[in-house]
Amino acid sequence: MGWGLQSVGDIATGVIMLVGRNSQLFESSARWLSFAILSLALCQMTVFVLPSLAQKAEKSDRKVIVSSKPDYPAILRRAQVGGLVRLKATVLPNGTVSSVEILGGNPILAENAVAAVKKWKYVPSPIQTVEDVSLSFSPN
C-alpha cells in the first residue's frame, strides 16, 4: 500500500475530525497541518532523475581549486528531504564561474547548490568551458 497524496489527505481529514470544529485549537492545528502537508506534497512532487537514467558526462580536465559546501536548510534536513542536484556551470578562462544552470533536483536544494557553485574557482584554462556538477544532499 503506497502513501500517495490521497492517503495523506485522508489521514489529515481524520485528524481534523478528531480535533473537532468548535475550538480555536482546531483552527491553528488545521493551518499548521495544512502547511505541513502542502510542504511535504511539494517536496514529493519534485522530479528526481534516477542515477541509472542520467547521462554520464565525460571527465573534465579542469579541476576545482576552491569550493564551498551548499547550505542545507534545517527544515528540509529534519523532514528527511534530500537528493541529487545536477547543474551545468559555465567557467571563464580565469577559472571563475560566470553562470550556473539547474538541470535537475529539488528546487530549494538546487538554489542553495547554485549559490555555492558560483563561489567555486577552477584551474585557469585558455578557453571557457562548461562543467557538469552533481551535488548530493543527504539528511543523515
Domains of the chain by residue range? 5-45, 64-137
The reported pTM is 0.57
pLDDT of residue 98: 96
pLDDT digit string (tens) for 37-47? 655 544 444 44
pLDDT of residue 88: 95
In whole angstroms, give the CA distance from residue 88 to residue 104.
10
pLDDT of residue 61: 75
Contact partners, residue 54, CB within 8 Å, separation at least 6: 86, 104
Residues of the chain scoring pLDDT < 70 = 1-60
pLDDT of residue 133: 95
Q: Across the chain, how many H-helices and E-strands are there?
A: 4, 5
List the CATH code of the domain at 64-137. Answer: 3.30.2420.10
Burial of 50 (0-12, 13-18, 19+ CB in 10 A): exposed
Helix (H, G, I), strand (E, B) or coil at 133: strand
